[in-house]
Amino acid sequence: MPNQLFATKSIKELQEAESSGNELRRALSATTLTLLGIGGIIGTGIFVLTGTAAANHAGPALALSFIIAGIGCTLAGLCYAEFAAMIPVSGSAYSYSYATLGEGIAWFIGWNLILEYLFAVATVSTGWSGYVLSLLEQFNIHLPSALTHAPFDQGQGSLTIVRTGAYINLPAMAIVAAIATICYIGIKQSAAFNSVIVAIKVTVVVLFILLGMSYINTANWHPFIPPNAGEFGRFGWSGVMAASGVIFFAYIGFDAISTAAQETRNPQRDMPIGILASLIICTVLYVVTAIVLTGMVSYKDLDVAAPVALALDKYPGLRWLGLPVKLGAIAGMTSVMLVMTLAQARIFFAMARDGLLPPWFSKVHPKFRTPSTGTAVTGISAAIIGGLFPVRILGELVSIGTLMAFVTVCIGVLVLRKTRPDLPRPFRAPTPWLTCIGGALICSAMMVSLGAATWLRLVVWTAVGVVVYVCYGYKHSRVRAAMSSAPGKVSPATR
């Protein structure tokens, strides 16, 4: 088993697996990839988490937190872009790890990507439900609380779960089912739907920035970095770092682009453009929004579920924008769920293709050419999780799983530069020792800021993954089957 844990798949083997007849439809361009990235990034982070992070951690320095998180994601994005252009296969960081660090690390990363995408769909669905309920109440439409809230919530202890008295969050389940249906029908239809949603939410964000600038009170920016309140992560520079870990959830999505490499027309060119363009656009929008928001309202008043709406309601001249903002928030979270559902189904597809998950996860629909079974499993699982649990139980767990994948990708680029310098690289991450090490260190620092309870949940999730790998993945691995059938065969890692 130790030999298998460190056995890698060659680039050639990965590419041959992609063209083995079980192929997905190539329909994506650089523009649609960029829009998918924006669709996956702008959502819960900008409409919900900005207020919480400013009020409890960073104060007006929230813009610095967005910049720190953005720098970490950009460095990781450069590493993703190199891998995506060099290894244009589905599976994202999972496939990249398999080609560089071995099956054991690949399984660990794949398992964490399931944590990221599957739980992110569920997490965002609960936020979507809250905004929809708020919008309906604005029109005096009231739905029963027992059918619109999660039956479980986090108790006073960080790891305790309590009953709320509700039965199920039906709106959250309904939107997940609708999104999964769109993803099941086809990648082209999903991309077109996403493009419309992205246009709506970006327009709303830009309107908020342009109109809100006139209502900025610079007194709200002083002190820009509030003094530390006596505990780590509560204001001061430690608060800026803690906020960067919290709002990192806002950046989750750009890495989902790389899971669609097999469905991209020219992945060597289009993947780097899509990843980096979406990151740059969203980082600029996030930083400017944070500056305007904390200028319009004191950070002390922003610990609410809808901070952008709160800022608009404070000024009578801007209240008319409240309805479009809610519609933009709903649209934003819809596209996030769409991108995450697409990504999760393709992670299932890649892992099943390698024998680490049951083969029916790699089944492709004969008409739509989409990973149909993986999409259905993603939809059903995310709907159940979103219907039962609230945002705060799931959000930080999603972030830490994603950060772990980012760290591994950054390290993987360095490893492959050393072990396989001969490989053609259509896109090269600049100054790799700075880019890769810097990305790994910044992402690791954000992981540390997420706290002990989140780390404990990650350990539990990892332990479950180890059991699944030992009981199924190890026995059915195609790498193990190849090694067993040819004991003298040289490991792909040494080619």
177 CB-contact burial (10 Å; exposed 0-12 / middle 13-18 / buried 19+): middle
CA atoms within 13 A on the CB side of 328: 23
Give the residue-averaged pLDDT of 442-466.
85
Give the residue-averaged pLDDT of 464-490.
79
Cβ contact 92:311 at 8 Å: no
445 CB-contact burial (10 Å; exposed 0-12 / middle 13-18 / buried 19+): middle
Which two structure tokens, joined as six digits, stand for 77?
Answer: 């994005």
Write out the residue range of the structural domain in which residue 83 sits: 2-494
Point out the least confidently predicted range of 7-21, 134-148, 198-212.
Answer: 7-21
Which two structure tokens, joined as six digits, stand for 142?
Answer: 């009231």
Which two structure tokens, joined as six digits, stand for 116?
Answer: 């990221």
Q: Which residues contact 320 (CB under 8 A, 6 or more apart)?
A: none
Query: DSSP characters for 21-44?
Result: S-PPP--B-HHHHHHHHHHHHSSH
Which two structure tokens, joined as six digits, stand for 4?
Answer: 């298998």
Point out the least confidently predicted range of 353-357, 394-398, 431-435.
Answer: 394-398
pLDDT value at position 39? 78
Residue 28 β-bridge partners: 264
Phi-psi map region of 451: left, alpha, beta (phi>0 left; psi -120 to 50 alpha)? left
State the Cα–Cα distance between residues 342 and 25, nearest whole angstrom: 13
**pLDDT for residue 468 is more than 90:** yes
- pLDDT tens for residues 120-172? 888 888 878 877 887 888 788 888 989 888 787 766 555 567 777 888 999 99
Which two structure tokens, joined as six digits, stand for 86?
Answer: 């060099």
Counted domains in the chain: 1
pLDDT value at position 291? 94
Point out the least confidently predicted range of 43-57, 78-92, 317-331, 436-450.
Answer: 78-92
Which two structure tokens, joined as six digits, stand for 467?
Answer: 């059991």
Residue tagged 């959000």 (tokens): 395
**pLDDT for residue 2 is more than 60:** no
- pLDDT tens for residues 26-46? 667 778 878 878 877 887 777
- pLDDT tens for residues 245-276? 878 777 777 776 766 666 677 777 777 888 88
Query: DSSP characters for 98-139?
Result: HHHT-HHHHHHHHHHHHHHHHHHHHHHHHHHHHHHHHHHHHT
* Short-list 178, 305, 225, CA closest to 63: 225
State the Cα–Cα distance between residues 4 and 102, nearest whole angstrom: 8
Q: Which residue has the higher pLDDT, 195 or 431?
A: 431
pLDDT value at position 178? 93
Distances (CA, A) of 51 to 232, 276, 465, 472: 19, 26, 34, 43
In sequence order, which ranges of 389-431 are alpha helices (DSSP H)?
391-419
Beta-carbon neighbour count of residue 436 at 10 Å? 25
* Residue 257 DSSP code: G
* Short-list 92, 102, 91, 106, CA closest to 465: 106
Give the residue-averaged pLDDT of 297-315.
83
State the Cα–Cα distance between residues 32 and 338, nearest whole angstrom: 14
Give the residue-averaged pLDDT of 416-437.
87
Residue tagged 């959830």 (tokens): 249
Query: DSSP characters for 187-232?
Result: HHHHHHHHHHHHHHHHHHHHHHHHHHGGG--GGGGSSSSPPP-SST
pLDDT value at position 495? 41
Give the residue-averaged pLDDT of 172-181.
93
pLDDT value at position 213? 93
**pLDDT for residue 484 is more than 80:** no
* Residue 167 DSSP code: -
Distances (CA, A) of 209 to 200, 222, 285, 295: 15, 20, 9, 11
Which two structure tokens, joined as six digits, stand for 72?
Answer: 């970490």
pLDDT value at position 486? 60
Q: Give the 3-state secondary structure of residue 352.
A: helix
Q: Which residues contact 343 (CB under 8 A, 6 or more apart)?
A: 40, 92, 113, 117, 255, 256, 259, 260
**pLDDT for residue 115 is more than 70:** yes
pLDDT value at position 494? 35
CATH code of the domain containing 375: 1.20.1740.10
Task: Give me the torsion for CA of 95, 100, 102, 103, rounded to 10°.
Answer: 0
pLDDT value at position 440? 93
pLDDT value at position 492? 43
CA 281 to chain centroid: 16
State the Cα–Cα distance between residues 465 and 459, nearest whole angstrom: 10
Q: Count Cβ neighbours within 10 Å for each residue of 10-30 and write b for 16 or more, e otherwise.
A: bbebbeebbeeeeebebbbbb
pLDDT value at position 258? 67
State the Cα–Cα distance between residues 373 and 451, nearest whole angstrom: 36
Which two structure tokens, joined as six digits, stand for 38?
Answer: 């924006």
Q: Quickly state the pLDDT bin for 456 (edges 50, 70, 90).
A: confident
pLDDT value at position 491? 44
